[in-house]
Amino acid sequence: MDLSSHTPKHSPALRLIFPDQSPSLFEAQARRAVADENRHAADLASSDGDLRKIFALRASQMLEGGRAAIMPPESRRMLVGEARRFGLRAFEANLIIAIVQDGARRGQSPVSAATAELIGVIPTQRRREAKQLLAQRLIVAALMGVGLLTILIRWISG
């Protein structure tokens, strides 16, 4: 059986990279650029602040009646549904809508500094997760402390 007829004529070239060899300058720059771009993209994708601002702009587009800043119930329901799909809670979505309505009644843009400052106060999923993680770590540390204290007391008394 002749195996040479089954092997491809143009096999891809393999290159060995040894750990003691540093990458070329071009390769190092390319890796750094990719890492920087990934960090930047991660900041954009997970930035809850930007999500709140985008939702505020969307809410301002749905307002009717000029400075009266009226939002029909069906528009509000649709917006809150969109916000939930983006990861905001219904309460947060309604709060952003109220801030945008109040700003519109005062003649402020949804991207004004005053409106952005109020929207920035609204808690985000990232903040809630960080607080939950901190609470979990504190509970684990307290339980470990109690366990170590119990072991120490038994060792001393026993």
Task: Please give the chain's pLDDT, 158 residues, in tens.
Answer: 555 555 555 666 666 665 556 667 777 788 887 777 666 555 444 444 578 888 888 988 888 888 788 888 999 999 999 988 888 888 989 999 999 998 888 888 777 888 888 888 777 666 666 677 788 888 999 999 999 999 999 999 97
3-state secondary structure of 70: strand
| Distance from C-alpha of 93 to C-alpha of 152, rounded to nearest angstrom | 51
pTM: 0.50
Q: Are the beta carbons of 80 and 90 closer than 8 angstroms?
A: yes
Query: Taking the CB of residue 71, how many other CB atoms lie within 10 A of it?
Result: 19
Q: Are the beta carbons of 105 and 67 closer than 8 angstroms?
A: yes
So where are the chain's domains? 28-123, 124-158
